[in-house]
Amino acid sequence: MKFIIDIEKDIEGYAKILALRDPDEAKKCVKQIEFVYGKRVDGLNGLYRYAMWDGTADWVDLLSNAIRIIEFYKEEFKIKYTHDREIEKQHSNIVTDEETTKVGISRQIEAIKGELEGTISDQEYSEMSDKLDQLEAISKQDISAGKKWIMIKGIVEWSLAKGVDVYIKISPIVNNILAGKEN
């Protein structure tokens, strides 16, 4: 991560100046730190200005504290960066509706059947399975979306009568069929 490497280089440079214990050089560094990091890092915004206003600043001590704050910021950034990458990784493992259409309508139907098997009564499962089979048959027909809708409309009405959970299960399949997605 280039950003972390840049921060580490800055810290290294400031540490060298801190080792000299020269108040004038430390003052220049504190001013530079406020300019570079002041808006991004809590505790550094106004550091130089307040020290100038006070007039009794120990510039070497201020530089030492500023370096510690930057080091903390660097570690905090690393943690956030790692966390964000992990979230992105988890998010990419979630199958979206778009990706589901690539799997194909037949596979979607099989996945729903597998999910429902053993979780609802045999009669409900048979009824749901029959409607899903009808949707699969409709998806394979080479007819217009309007004609497909006429055939699907009854299944959609049935799903709504069964409840929102049933409708939510079949609606992506219906959308894919009407959009002409691959089977």
CA–CA dist 139, 133 (Å, integer): 10
Q: Residue-wise pLDDT tens for the chain (183 aa)?
A: 788 888 899 999 999 999 999 999 999 999 999 888 888 888 888 878 788 887 788 989 999 999 999 999 889 888 888 877 777 777 655 555 444 444 588 888 888 888 888 788 888 889 989 999 999 999 888 888 889 999 999 999 998 888 888 888 888 988 888 887 654
Are 30 and 63 spatial neighbours (Cβ–Cβ below 8 Å)? yes
Give me the residue spans of the domains in the chain: 2-93, 98-179
Listed in sequence order, the residues at least 6 apart from 129 whose beta carbon sits closer than 8 Å to its beta carbon are 113
The pTM of this model reads: 0.47
